[in-house]
């Protein structure tokens, strides 16, 4: 069980979103199982990309702003893996969408 709101892994600042996820997963190790993944930008793709890779690695909840024309793919992918998906509707610059 995760206590005290600790940050398990962070993969910020990478130009490649999949590499950023992999860095965060590596830092979190086994504690990534069931953990939440949050992004300050929408995921332009779900299948064979960050959303599916996160699901395959045991992430339990994904939070992202939404706003991609492919948000439906993210929903379908998370549903396939039984992962909760939350659209925050707030962009990385703090604007509501």
CATH code for position 71? 3.40.140.20
- End-to-end Cα, the chain, rounded Å: 33
* 27: in domain: yes
Number of structural domains, the chain?
1
With respect to residue 96, please indicate whether it lies within any of the assigned structural domains. Answer: no
Beta strands in 1-97 (DSSP E): 36-38, 61-64, 84-87
The pLDDT, as a whole number, for residue 8 is 67
pLDDT along the chain (97 residues), means of 10: 60 80 91 92 92 97 94 98 95 71
Instruction: Of 57, 71, 65, 58, give the one whose Cα is nearest residue 92.
Output: 65
Which pLDDT score is estimated for 59?
96
Q: Please enumerate in sequence order all residues whose Cβ is within 8 A of that of 52, keeping only pairs 6 or more positions apart, or say none.
A: 46, 77, 81
What radius of gyration do the chain's Cα atoms show? 13
* Residue 15 falls inside a structural domain: yes
pTM of the full predicted structure? 0.85
């Amino acid at each position: 069980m995760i206590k005290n709101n600790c940050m398990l892994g962070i993969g910020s600042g990478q130009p490649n979103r999949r590499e950023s996820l992999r860095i965060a997963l590596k830092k979190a190790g086994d504690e990534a199982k069931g953990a939440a993944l949050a992004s300050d930008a929408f995921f332009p793709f779900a299948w064979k990309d960050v959303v599916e890779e996160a699901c395959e690695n045991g992430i339990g909840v994904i939070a992202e702003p939404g706003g991609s024309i492919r948000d439906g793919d993210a929903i379908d992918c998370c549903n396939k893996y039984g992962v909760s998906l939350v659209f925050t509707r707030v962009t990385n610059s703090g604007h509501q969408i």
